[in-house]
Structure 1
């Protein structure tokens, strides 16, 4: 399937989730592979918050990095957390002064869900409201908090980005790879490279444009992704015109053979 835009996360969700749902495919049998972590990470966040389901990944989530940033900033400024974090913890009624891990986790989940609401309110407003209620907080109160500290939160996310926390991201990623298990009953997401040696009943292979430095090994990488599918393979090409032009004749030839 050729799709011209690489930014259409909702369309990707519709294709994968509704197709699997309509065919009665269990999430455990689904693996989503891609060439770039960014799209996979964005889709992972979209999928989890939109469905309320867990996922099984070989990379860090947006929440993981946000929590790592909170932990790092707390240590960096000698346990005097940034003011907006203190306000958020009070809002969440977090009272355990010995361990902030639970509070950081809940705050990160709410903040990432809120970013989804801002982008796609029609998909996430209900889920966001439910998440607020789960954390015993009024959605309007959390909205007011985000609005008041919007600049501080954005500066924080920028300061503790994936590049700034590269060692933490690598540590989380390595840990997830070590403890990865294919039969957790959830949808799996991974880069093609990380999924070498594994197989899945159904593979959605996401292809994007790649830099010139990857051009020579690109088709070898795609071949690896294709061979990860045990029974069914769906290729979603997001704007890679070269692959589309080279793959289409092969596909049409194979289709004619099947028809005959």
Structure 2
């Protein structure tokens, strides 16, 4: 390793150590010297050829003050004003108006009052009693005994509305590996912060699939006033 590289590595490691021990290290003077191999050393003990090191000051910030500073820099919203009042319409700058009349919120009216946010569950398989047999993913398995006891099985997708805006024009289609789709039965609207279920009997799939290939099914959710529909992870 070249001398310059050794110097850089040594200085960096030394500075990290000094910053880590700043609670007591900066109570005393720090001394530095370079040995015959060009390596830089630091110590709180003075020696004949050592000089006082000029190190940057490490300040300890008051955490309460820092938290208040962060709060102060956070854009105003309706959290402390009773929530969003969509019935008042949009403010002149396109933002929302809060329930207590506060009009300086930075929340966009479009995202808070016009656009619903849906989250979809994973595809589930139900028996004829509408009890869940299992989640359809790459690990899905079903025994012959379960098949015989299940009766007429169906697929289930659950949608949750995570917004204060009612979702309308909702449709859910299950897609088979050959690209064909079948629509699941369910409501066209999902009320604000509500949940809706969509069902499709297996026999209505446009492509017959063995149970071990059900994991290849996919589904699409459409909504007139929704953004991207999020899915619950595996």
Which structure carries more strand by proportion?
2
Which structure carries more helix by proportion?
1
Rg larger in structure: 2
Greater RCO (Cα-Cα under 8 Å, separation 6 or more): 1
* Alignment TM-score, normalising by the size of structure 1: 0.17
